Copies of this chain bind each other. A is one copy, B any other.
Amino acid sequence: MTGLVLFAHGARDARWREPFDRLLERVRSGHGAPVELAFLELMDPDLPAAAARLARVGATRIVVVPLFLGTGGHLRRDLPRLLELARATAGVPVAAAGAAGENDAVLDALASYCLRSAR
């Protein structure tokens, strides 16, 4: 069973996470296995804690999806370190997808939103 971690940056303002909570609901309703949010900083849980939670409810493999638009230092330096910690904590394989913003369909949706905003 593949557990999913939706990995976002985090922010001081609690209202920042509203779209991530909406996304979590959508992904949970579409994925036949457990899904958790995790945050790089300022919000809980962190990535190792979310991975451990997924392993506790039966995930035998975990995929982390970075909800970041670009691939900068957070994904190039911080994420590999957190993946190592998550593997140690969860005790199951933990892999990461690419940044969501690098995905063509996500870029298409962003482009459409920009174009609609100009009207």
Residue ranges of A at the interface with B (Cβ–Cβ < 8 Å)? 2, 4, 6, 8, 11-13, 15-20, 22-23, 26-27, 30-31, 33, 35, 63, 65, 67, 69-73, 76, 97, 99-103, 105-115, 117-118
Copies of this chain present in the complex amount to: 2
Given A18-B102, A19-B102, A102-B18, A4:B118 Cβ within 8 A: yes
A76/B13 in contact, CB under 8 A: yes
Closest chain B residue, CB of each to CB of A74: B11
A70 is contacted by which of B11, B99, B101 (Cβ under 8 Å)? B11
Bound: A26/B108 CA distance, A:
8
A27/B111 in contact, CB under 8 A: yes
Bound: A67/B110 CA distance, A:
8
B97/A117 in contact, CB under 8 A: yes
Question: A101 contacts which chain B residues (CB < 8 A)?
Answer: 19
Interface centre among A12, A13, A111 (most CB of B within 10 A): A111
Closest chain B residue, CB of each to CB of A68: B69
Interface centre among A35, A72, A102 (most CB of B within 10 A): A72
